Structure 1
Amino acid sequence: MPQSHSPQGSDGELRAALLLVAALTVARLIALFGTPLELYPDEAQYWLWSRTLDFGYYSKPPMIAWAIWATTAIGGDAEAWVRLSACLFQAGATLVVFLIGRRLYGPQTGLAAAALYGLMPGIQLSALVAATDAPLLFFLGVTILAYVNLLEADGRRRVLLAAGVGAALGLAFLSKYAAVYFVVGLAVHLALSRPARAAWTLPAAAAALAAFAAVLAPNLAWNATHGFATFQHTAANAAWSGVQLFNVTEMGAFVGSQFGVFGPIPLAVLLIGVVLAARRRQLSANDLTLLCFSLPPLLIVTGQAFISRANANWSGAGYLAGAILVAAWLMRWRARRWLIAAVAIQGAVAAFFLAAVMSPALADKAGLANGLKRARGWSQTTELILDRAAREPGLTAIAVNNRFLFYAMSYYGRDRLGFGAPPLASWLLMEGPRNQAETTAPLTAAIGRRVLMVSYEGWRRAEMQADFAASRDLEIASVWLDRRHKRKVEMFVGEGFAPRPRDAATGLPTPP
């Protein structure tokens, strides 16, 4: 059975963990409410979802929309309130890290793990962006906490904890389907650990499955009535089509990004620890538990990066367990200087990141302007387009050819769109919709009599014009994002929307 550590005598570490979380949360709240950076288009998309609560959406499960609905219902639709839940979820996740570390290794390790996790570079971004990773990590942490307690419980308490594992895992799946990595880790752990198999009695397994099914059932029902849209989008993200296979460069870039996301010293410690464990062929029960939940996401996504492609955050499901394991190994190796160095480096990076969020000019001077361009200029771009629309009498629609632009306009034009204004629509390049904007607001002949068409960066403008009986008054306008980057839109009025047939093989418009 896993070694347990009594929380007795841990009051000092608990107070320190609470102070750490409070300090990080206050600093993040100051950055959230003080930053001039605008919503990323994906954040604007999630905000748009939150206006109509549902049990599922085109590309993601519903938790992110529910969270944004809750915070904006309290404070309004300003950017900070849209992003607030991310900060709160990561505060909760850091406390859960402390509780897991304390349970498995003692209060000092729990505190070290909370510091490593709370200051992790990837977590800084996750805590300030409205996205699915923050709720995923929080509920995965709760799932792991219930699981490690279940391994030492018996009787009625074991069944209750098993139900907690199932319910928390269900909430993790409602946050992001990457929660499946817990299922992978659980399967590996059961295969390698006889005590783990013994802990899952029939009543415990039944309680976990029942709680999991009860939580996830509404989302499954939504997907069943919407052609399993979210599942298909998730599968498409991992698809290999159109990507060079067996790409060593892509894999190297992904692995390199993990040193930046997880932290250089913590990731090095994790890799060294795995190598040492493999050479010695020996792991403690607690180490094995955490390794089963931290290593599979990293290995699987690294393999995916080699086969096709992968984003840096796709292995995020392993960050929480990995931070605890790294802290435990550093404490066990008595490598306190390395622990202090890791915390100091990550603290410095966190401080710089928060400063750059508060004053983007600092990021510009550091050569990081390109990383912020997607959070700039959307309100100006929206105003530019809506001002042009106001000068065109008799419009039946405003149509854009880019989902990012659609979502940004939905958010930053929320006070001008509607109330008699022409509807915002999405021009379809292909025969069928490829995202939620195209699914819910496609440009059709019914609203296509006289349309202000907007081509993002001039993309496919000629094909857009060919879908109309007539087009006129082309205007090219730009918005500067910083001294080196600008966003361009090309606008024209299209009359008589009659889309050309799409090629049966490619789905693209046929030549005029």
Structure 2
Amino acid sequence: MSTLLVIAGLSVWRLIMAALLPITQDEAYYLDWARHWSLGYFDHPPAVAWLGAGIWLAPGTVLAGRLGGLLAGILALVVLDHLYQRCGLTDRHTRALALLLTGAHLLGISGGILITPDSLLILAWALALHEAERALNTDPRRWLTAGAAIGLGLLSKYTMLLIGPVLLAALLWSDWRRNEMAGVWRGLQLLSPWPWAGALVALLIFAPNLLWNAQNGWLTIGFQLGHGFAIEVGGAVAPEVNAIDHGAYQTLAERFLSLMGYLIAQIELWGLIALLMLWVLAQRLTGRVQGARSVSPAADETPASPEVSTARILLGLAGIIPLGAFALVSWISPVEANWPGMYLIGAAPFVAQWLGVDVRWARGAALGNLALATLLVLALAQGSALPSLTDRSSRLLRETAGFAQLADYAARLDAPVYADRYQLAAMLRFYRPDLVETTQWPGLERPSEYLRGRIAPRLAPERSTGPSWLLTHSIHPPLLPGLQLQEWRVLLLCPGRGLVEVEAEPAPCRRPIQHWSLYRYAPLGMSTPSP
């Protein structure tokens, strides 16, 4: 199996899945940013909006919005092919397996299809490692291009900062190894101007977002610190935008359970590959399986060259440091499974070598992940859940199903439609770009970019002079100061029937896929409309 076949196969598969899978809620949110470019946004740096530029070609079209992410995924696989080869995976079968594993774990599957900040982060991480390896082994001037990749990654997601300790540790190890092998002091590359020039390049590329944050009360950085580390940074914005729930673990039991949950989630990301890894581990512990197949036929006879050793250390650090850093974070605060996802780039070649005892089983596990993902996408495209993955599949179904019909319904209402959650507002605006007034109602749910009034007009309910509709999942109408509830509608998405307005008992379906409530509010004293 050649690496070219793996890259081509994964790319074609991702393209087909991206065309079939309905838009997800966070994607719709990011693609709304793509219509209004900025140097920063409430939730993330700006690069995810740049990736979504394809939405300009065909507004409301899923595949057009995902084109940038698909391209980034293809480029990442090409870069990793070169990087893995220089790290000693000269055997094409092992290298092809490493690339397949990179694209077949759960983050590789979702990140290869969806438009997210991780799409460009993974490409930037791979490029930074590729250029750093060249700088360490052949040409120190390549620290400049490594710095450019780091700057690009920081514009996508701030977790790119973790590449710093990876490269610093690799530099220190490389310098020590070089001087030890020479037997005499030959200086330190760390003290040469090139690594520092690369850091300056990264800072210059990242500077526009830093300046934007400074001008906006450190809005994005403050949100990310609060979201990831339970640290609050003030911002010069509306109070409800800063109303972030900062949760932190207090008891030892909570901290331990959080760490265990984090580690289990990282194992689950490998899907069927994790089952094979556990089986191989059990076989080796019982002495039934010997060590992994060598990276190349001559690897057992010929020691790795200094260049390959340095590259392997770099790749190993790229796997260990992000995984370890977020393990520490999980001890004090909740951690989402995708946050340390960059580590999978460094881990994949080692896992491929370790599972090389029987390449066919490893390929089968990876292809099994892709097959399950295909079935899930086909089910979601048909508006149904996958029975074998009931909980996760049902959650994805609720994330994607029925929103096109809901947006059409909202466009026919007699007053502007708003949503309590930014995800609902984003989905309405994606499927019906003509709903230009639709935005998030302030003060009800977690704040978002909508409350800043840049990508949609900022809603000021206290100054409302006419009626408006509030879309929510809640079955209890919120009490809104200065407004009175005039009407309440319930909408259900029923299997096989589509969107149904509930008017009286009995309900049109026992187990609806979606349940939405629409509340019509008007200023106090305004008469209720006639039926």
TM-score by length of 1: 0.80
Whole-angstrom CA distance in 2 between matches of 1:265 and 1:100: 27
The residue number in structure 2 matching 1:337 is 357
Whole-angstrom CA distance in 1 between matches of 2:266 and 2:516: 35
Whole-angstrom CA distance in 1 between matches of 2:376 and 2:112: 15
The residue number in structure 2 matching 1:146 is 131
From 358, 361, 366, the equivalent of 2:378 is 358
Cα 1:491–1:355 change in 2 (3 A) is closer
From 448, 457, 460, the equivalent of 1:435 is 448
1:225 aligns with 2:218: no
Whole-angstrom CA distance in 2 between matches of 1:270 and 1:284: 26
1:44 aligns with 2:28: yes
Whole-angstrom CA distance in 1 between matches of 2:395 and 2:133: 39
CA deviation map 1:451-475 (0-9, x unaligned): 32314122662323xx234331222
Query: Is the contact between residue 51 and residue 115 of structure 2 (CA under 8 Å) also seen in structure 1?
Result: no
Cα 1:123–1:347 change in 2 (3 A) is same
Structure with more helix by fraction:
1
Query: Is the contact between residue 52 and residue 69 of structure 2 (CA under 8 Å) also seen in structure 1?
Result: no
From 423, 429, 445, the equivalent of 1:410 is 429
From 172, 178, 186, the equivalent of 2:153 is 172
The residue number in structure 1 matching 2:119 is 134
Whole-angstrom CA distance in 2 between matches of 1:176 and 1:297: 14
Residue identity opposite 2:410 in structure 1: I
Residue identity opposite 1:496 in structure 2: P
1:349 aligns with 2:369: yes
Residue identity opposite 2:153 in structure 1: A
CA deviation map 1:404-447 (0-9, x unaligned): 11111111121x324xxxx22322227x9821112224321575
Cα 1:207–1:469 change in 2 (3 A) is closer
Matches within 5 A, 1:50-89: 50-69=34-53, 71-74=54-57, 76-89=59-72
Cα 1:112–1:477 change in 2 (3 A) is closer
Query: Is the contact between residue 89 and residue 138 of structure 1 (CA under 8 Å) also seen in structure 2?
Result: yes
Whole-angstrom CA distance in 2 between matches of 1:380 and 1:255: 40
Query: Is the contact between residue 259 and residue 267 of structure 1 (CA under 8 Å) also seen in structure 2?
Result: no
Q: What is the percent sequence identity of the aligned residues? A: 19
Aligned residues: 451
Residue identity opposite 2:452 in structure 1: T
Query: Is the contact between residue 170 and residue 310 of structure 2 (CA under 8 Å) also seen in structure 1?
Result: no
Q: Alpha-carbon deviation of 1:171?
A: 0.7
Whole-angstrom CA distance in 2 between matches of 1:61 and 1:471: 38
Secondary structure of the equivalent of 1:489? strand
Matches within 5 A, 1:405-484: 405-414=424-433, 416-418=434-436, 423-429=437-443, 434-440=447-453, 441-445=457-461, 448-458=464-474, 461-464=477-480, 467-480=481-494, 484=511
Farther-moved stretch of structure 1 (252-261 vs 238-247): 238-247
Query: Is the contact between residue 38 and residue 377 of structure 1 (CA under 8 Å) also seen in structure 2?
Result: no
The residue number in structure 2 matching 1:4 is none
The residue number in structure 1 matching 2:196 is 206
Query: Is the contact between residue 119 and residue 346 of structure 1 (CA under 8 Å) also seen in structure 2?
Result: yes
CA deviation map 1:324-377 (0-9, x unaligned): 2333x43xxxx5334432222011111221232133368523243323221212
Cα 1:266–1:51 change in 2 (3 A) is farther
Q: Alpha-carbon deviation of 1:168?
A: 0.6
Whole-angstrom CA distance in 2 between matches of 1:62 and 1:375: 24
Whole-angstrom CA distance in 1 between matches of 2:343 and 2:27: 23
Q: Alpha-carbon deviation of 1:286?
A: 3.6
TM-score by length of 2: 0.77
Query: Is the contact between residue 399 and residue 426 of structure 1 (CA under 8 Å) also seen in structure 2?
Result: yes
Residue identity opposite 1:25 in structure 2: S
| Structure 2 spans left out of the alignment, 5+ residues | 179-186, 231-245, 286-290, 292-307, 497-509, 526-531
Residue identity opposite 1:59 in structure 2: D
